[in-house]
């Protein structure tokens, strides 16, 4: 869809399954598995999506993760602020030492997310919860709570003084 949502296949396999008849291996069928990734910005609909996948026969749901969609922009803003702070701090130190800053000798920066929430999803739990719901007549989707993602920006700056 146009808001960056997508579904894509990340793995596909077909494994032959055999039966043994009178100590002879006899081909029975293929077991096919298809692994897909669902990417959505609609975090409020995640529980309903999982329920739909289970009802359609999905047998493993894992690696549910929440990340920041505006990661690059947020990192850039943080790094600019960190660089400005480094400059102000360096200027006050230079002043205290009776010198002044005349240029930048080096800058290095990094930005990384912390607390990227990962949830392993238990299928047995989901199926029993869905059975309870249908028994009580309540249509409540699997509760998925999003967490917070923290960004850490680090700037190392060295300056020329005179």
pLDDT digits (tens, 9 = 90+) for 67-96: 777 888 889 999 999 999 999 999 999 999
Q: What is the mean pLDDT of residues 112-127?
A: 55
Check whether 123 has a pLDDT greater than 60. Answer: no
Q: Residue 11's pLDDT is what?
A: 93
User: Measured in Å, how far apart are the chain's first and last C-alpha atoms?
Assistant: 57
- The closest of 77, 136, 142, 134 to 111, measured between CA atoms, is 77
Q: Residue 15's pLDDT is what?
A: 95
Q: What are phi and psi of 122, to 5 degrees?
A: -95, 115
Rg (CA), the chain: 27
Instruction: With 0.75 as the threshold, say if the pTM is over it.
Output: no
**Count of CB atoms within 10 A of residue 75's CB?**
19
Q: Residue 132's pLDDT is what?
A: 57
Q: What is the mean pLDDT of residues 111-118?
A: 64
32 neighbors 1 (Cβ within 8 angstroms): no
Give me the helices (H) in the chain, please: 46-55, 71-96, 123-136
Say how far apart CA 7 and CA 36 lie, in whole Å.
7
Say how far apart CA 78 and CA 132 lie, in whole Å.
47
111 neighbors 78 (Cβ within 8 angstroms): yes
Provide the token pair at 101.
Answer: 């800053």
- The closest of 5, 37, 44 to 144, measured between CA atoms, is 44
């Amino acid at each position: 869809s146009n808001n960056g949502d997508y579904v894509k296949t990340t793995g596909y396999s077909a494994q032959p399954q055999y039966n043994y008849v009178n100590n002879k291996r006899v081909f029975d069928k293929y077991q096919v598995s298809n692994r897909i990734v669902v990417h959505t910005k609609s975090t409020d609909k995640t529980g309903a999506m999982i329920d739909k996948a289970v009802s359609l026969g999905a047998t493993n749901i894992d690696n549910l993760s929440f990340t920041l969609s505006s990661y690059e922009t947020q990192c850039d803003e943080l790094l600019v602020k960190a660089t400005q702070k480094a400059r102000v701090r360096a200027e006050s130190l230079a002043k205290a030492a009776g010198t002044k800053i005349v240029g930048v000798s080096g800058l290095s920066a990094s930005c990384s997310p912390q607390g990227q929430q990962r949830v392993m999803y238990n299928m047995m739990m989901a199926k029993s919860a869905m059975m309870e719901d249908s028994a009580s007549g309540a249509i409540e989707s699997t509760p998925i709570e999003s967490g917070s993602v923290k960004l850490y920006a680090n700037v190392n700056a060295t300056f020329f003084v005179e």
